[in-house]
Chains A and B, each alone.
Chain A
């Protein structure tokens, strides 16, 4: 008995060593130190894009057919494991009913179909790149989709002067992270194409943290007591568009939706 106890000691020690090593390695990922700007802040300048299917549905979902028959497989919905911590959104019962109605009428109601501004956090994971232009006083998030723009005020911070689609963002540095507090939303944008929605009580706190030279961790805590029973968290990596000629192009979609929105009001040839 004694012998076998002694013989086990090194096994335990080796096991402990491995555990410590694993702990150290996993602790290293979040402690990646981003390159600095000239004024000493983590440098997030660049063109970034999410690679996931959250814009279809932020909750976990299986692949599904296209909502537009003519588009066949080209318009079909790819599956996704979801970006919501815990898997499902904590809707209030009446809000869940509304979400399901939204979903049933998504082609009529989704603001993206009408080329409306995407809101937050949806802008971040639309299937389009966005560019961060980082200065001391203002950090700009310039989205390709619908030329949606967010100004993050790092100085001269105020309350939202009025409700808006993209909200009013004040930012601060917390070590390696850029923390962005956004309020002052209207109740018109959605979280995805599946009808997940919010009210004008939406409050989003986002954290951008570099995880390597070409990836960021993006997480957001979303609070909206009119729609959800508790705050919830979403998270995803963002990837740098590393093509040397990468740039934000115009996606001025208003022109693309005029026939959809106003076509029925076109003058008919006189009978």
Chain B
């Protein structure tokens, strides 16, 4: 059996000689892509009511990891190194559906847009999104944090194996919440798309997965009482010059971000750096988990709209069918055990 993917890859390797001049051009183009459009003269457009205009469709799809890889010591790659790192990460992602494997028969990640190959990449030369601490790593975990993590892993054990119940699955498989909306807003592996719409007194950020709209009031109102806790917390915003500053607290702690607790406070800063770029910086403070606050710098890149309805829960046959399959497997095992006994 000829595997078409393998054939294509072999051919591609043979053609490299012919492609050399083209590759050089690609590297040049790439270096232009990676250098963020830092134009100090850029004048942020305004909405009709005079707010800095962040509206449109944006992507934060990226291969830049939150934490710096162990074998990297510098803060920035050269454009060539960044492209190489991107290729390595993309190859690792696609290896999940290696030709000839069950996963590949199930579905091809690239074909169904489940990797980043069709996404608008929000590229950066950074080796990690974390800029503080300087080593690009999360700060040390507090003693309280260690206890919380241990307690969480005990709770998880009580849920049993992944297919024992719906609740034992990850939040995204259960269609409750995905990585995109945050806050902080992070690449969601695929469909990392956002729509920003502004009205007087409000900025609304809609995340494609799972149609989560964050409506951020700008009128300086206080946070609600601590009893009101939400998956996405509760956000309050203000303009500092052309920068939108959003403070979010009142998390319910059920969707830990890299270990965070309900005491997390996230401060995000969004500034339009060019027509097709928003600089997205955020600081996370959670003294129950980390010894000190930490900060990251990411990018949102203008992408093609519109966003489509991601009716995840309504079409969640995956969760249902895997639970059915697991119960059938158990039934089969019981039946074969009964047969053995009767023999």
Verify if A156 is at the interface (C-beta below 8 Å from B).
yes
Docked CA distance A259–B165 (Å): 9
Q: A147-B211, A151-B306 are in contact. Are A135 and B199 (CB under 8 A)?
A: yes
Within 8 A of A (CB), among B281-317: 305-309, 311, 313-314
Q: Bin the interface of chain B by size.
A: 35 or more
Is the pair A153, B306 in contact by a Cβ cutoff of 8 Å? yes
Measured in the bound complex, the distance between the Cα atoms of B215 and A132 in whole Å is: 10
Q: B212 and A147: CB pair below 8 A? A: yes
1/0 per position for A235-271, CB-CB distance to B under 8 A? Answer: 0000000001101111010110011011001110000
CB nearest to B164 among chain A residues: A267
B186 within 8 A of A: no
B42 to chain A, nearest CB (A): 21
Interface check B176, CB cutoff 8 A: yes
A134 to B197 CA separation, bound complex (whole angstroms): 8
What B residues does A140 contact at CB under 8 A? 197, 204, 206, 213
Contact of B213 among A147, A162, A244 (CB under 8 A): A147
- Report yes or no: A162 in contact with B308, Cβ–Cβ below 8 A: yes
Interface pair B313/A45, CB less than 8 Å apart: no
Task: Flag if A37 contacts B202 (CB, 8 Å).
Answer: no
Determine how close the nearest CB of chain A comes to the CB of B244; give it in whole angstroms.
Answer: 15
Interface status of B224 (Cβ within 8 A of chain A)? yes
List CB contacts (< 8 Å) of A110-128 with chain B.
Answer: 111, 115-117
Hey, which chain A residues are within 8 Å of B202, CB to CB?
45, 133
Q: Mark A148-166, 1 if CB is under 8 A from B, else 0.
A: 1101010010000110111
Give the contacting residue for B48; candidates A136, A149, A166; CB below 8 A: A136
Q: How near does chain B come to A132, taking the closest CB pair, in angstroms? A: 8
Check B273 for interface membership: any CB of A closer than 8 A: no
CA–CA, A188 to B309, complex, Å? 14
Cβ of A226 within 8 Å of any chain B Cβ, yes or no, is: no
B314 and A39 contact, CB distance less than 8 A: no
Within 8 Å by CB of A262, from B160, B166, B231, lies B166
Inter-chain contacts of B308 with A (CB < 8 A): 161-162, 164
Return A186 CB to nearest CB of chain B, in Å: 9
Report the separation of the CA atoms of residues A82 and B305 in the bound assembly, to the nearest whole angstrom. Answer: 39
In Å, the complex CA distance between A161 and B213 comes to: 21
Chain A residues lying within 8 Å of B175, measured Cβ to Cβ, are: 254
Q: A247-B215, A265-B320, A265-B324 are in contact. Are A254 and B197 (CB under 8 A)?
A: no
| Interface residue B167 (Cβ < 8 Å from any Cβ of A) | yes
In whole Å, how far is A46's beta carbon from the nearest beta carbon of chain B? 9
Q: Are B195 and A151 in contact (CB under 8 A)?
A: yes
Hey, which chain B residues are within 8 Å of A188, CB to CB?
314
Q: Is A69 an interface residue (CB 8 A)?
A: no
Interchain CB contact under 8 A, A267 and B326: yes
| Closest residue of B by beta carbon distance from A142 | B213
Q: Are A149 and B213 in contact (CB under 8 A)?
A: yes
Indicate if the CB atoms of A258 and B167 lie closer than 8 Å.
yes
Residue B200 at the chain A interface, CB threshold 8 Å? yes
B190-206 CB contact bits vs A (8 Å, 1 = yes)?
00000101111110101
Residue B118 at the chain A interface, CB threshold 8 Å: no
**Is the pair B211, A148 in contact by a Cβ cutoff of 8 Å?**
yes
Closest 7 CB pairs of A and B: A38-B48, A265-B323, A262-B166, A267-B164, A164-B309, A38-B49, A39-B48
Q: List 5 A-B contacts (CB under 8 A).
A: A140-B197, A188-B314, A249-B230, A258-B167, A261-B320
Chain A residues in the interface with B (C-beta under 8 A)? 37-39, 45, 111, 115-117, 131-138, 140, 142, 147-149, 151, 153, 156, 161-162, 164-166, 188, 244-245, 247-250, 252, 254-255, 258-259, 261-262, 265-267
Given contacts A166-B309, A247-B217, 11 further A-B pairs with CB under 8 A are A39-B48, A133-B197, A140-B197, A151-B195, A244-B221, A261-B320, A262-B320, A265-B320, A266-B165, A267-B326, A267-B330
